A = this chain, B = another copy of it.
Amino acid sequence: MSIRIGIFGYGNLGRGVECALRQNADMELKAIFTRRDPKTVRILTEGVPVLHADRASDMKDEIDVMILCGGSATDLPVQTPALAKLFNVVDSFDTHARIPVHFANVDEAASASSHTAVISVGWDPGLFSLNRLYGGAVLPDGKDYTFWGKGVSQGHSDAIRRVEGVANGKQYTVPVEEALASVRRGENPELSTREKHTRECFVVAKEGADRAKIEQEIKTMPNYFADYDTTVNFITEEELQKNHGGIPHGGFVIRSGRTGKDLENNHIIEYSLKLDSNPEFTSSVLVAYARAAYRMYRKGDFGCKTVLDVPPALLSPKSGEELRKTLL
């Protein structure tokens, strides 16, 4: 019997989950929930109902795991605890500093109603967190490095678009090659914000706008750009659509550590992602953890979990026996 999945929120992430479910034969999409008027929402999967978010509780007995696809700023802090009272849930809450509070809220709801919740699933937090954990546990005398990119930062792209005279824009976060190379050589450098990443902006200016002023305003914007070496390229809307239409991302987690009698041997563990579509990849991780959430629920392992708590084998549709035979 397949695992019955609900999608709560139908933006980039929700569409990604819908696609990912087709790649997992043991899972079945039962319903998509939206806060918009369901009649206005077109989905890819034939025969699956689109329901208003308010009607989630009606589907309580027909959905094994609800995958939450809302945003971390205002949606998930409310939605995940609320839905964890009714369903097993998985979310991609990614406001790092607020994870402990979110965890506590979701844990209370899920534990009280005997459900399993897995929060902060994706790649960072998510697969990157796992690699920081494995790296640190194996090489306790060492140093962690996380680099992001090359990839589109939605927050920084939004910031560009708020600048006066800007019609459209996109921002790439780019890791500094020399910093990466130094880390890989085991030099354990201390790196400032500026030394780790550069910011590359592609900007469509409004007709008659003062480009020098736009460039200056972007480059000196506090929090977003002032601490980085930033380049601003002016292009046309057509170029933006043609060459910068995707949502690629990625990054690197590197652990550099020492072992031996006198810590004389150096080791480098490197994990990297190169993603054509940031939301689709995140969605694929969510779907794998939905499988794990359901299995933990079936074993009576209730409450809130993160990727750090989930036994890896639960992510795969294959049996333990098959995994040992083929992957180990």
Is A73 on the interface with B (CB-CB < 8 A)? Answer: no
Is A182 on the interface with B (CB-CB < 8 A)? Answer: no
- Interfacial residues of chain A within 133-154, with CB under 8 A of chain B in the complex: 133-134, 136-141
State the number of copies, please: 2
* C-alpha spacing A291/B312, complex, angstroms: 17
Cβ of B133 and Cβ of A313 under 8 Å apart? Answer: yes
Is A23 on the interface with B (CB-CB < 8 A)? Answer: yes
Cβ of B23 and Cβ of A259 under 8 Å apart? Answer: yes
- Interfacial residues of chain A within 98-129, with CB under 8 A of chain B in the complex: 99-100, 103, 120, 125, 127, 129
Q: Name the B residues within 8 Å of A288 (CB-CB).
A: 137-138
Cβ of A316 and Cβ of B133 under 8 Å apart? Answer: yes
Is A328 on the interface with B (CB-CB < 8 A)? Answer: yes
Closest residue of B by beta carbon distance from A322: B100
Is A275 on the interface with B (CB-CB < 8 A)? Answer: yes
Q: Say whether, besides A133-B312, A325-B100, A277 and B260 are in contact (CB < 8 Å).
A: yes
Q: Name the B residues within 8 Å of A44 (CB-CB).
A: 261
Question: Considering only CB atoms and an 8 Å cut-off, how many residues of chain A contact the other chain?
Answer: 65
Residue of A23, A281, A308, A321 with most partner-chain B CB within 10 A: A308
Closest residue of B by beta carbon distance from A287: B138
- By a beta-carbon cutoff of 8 Å, the part of chain A in contact with chain B is 16, 19-20, 23-24, 44, 96, 99-100, 103, 120, 125, 127, 129-130, 132-134, 136-141, 184, 259-261, 265-277, 280-281, 283-285, 288, 291, 306-313, 315-316, 320-321, 323-325, 327-328
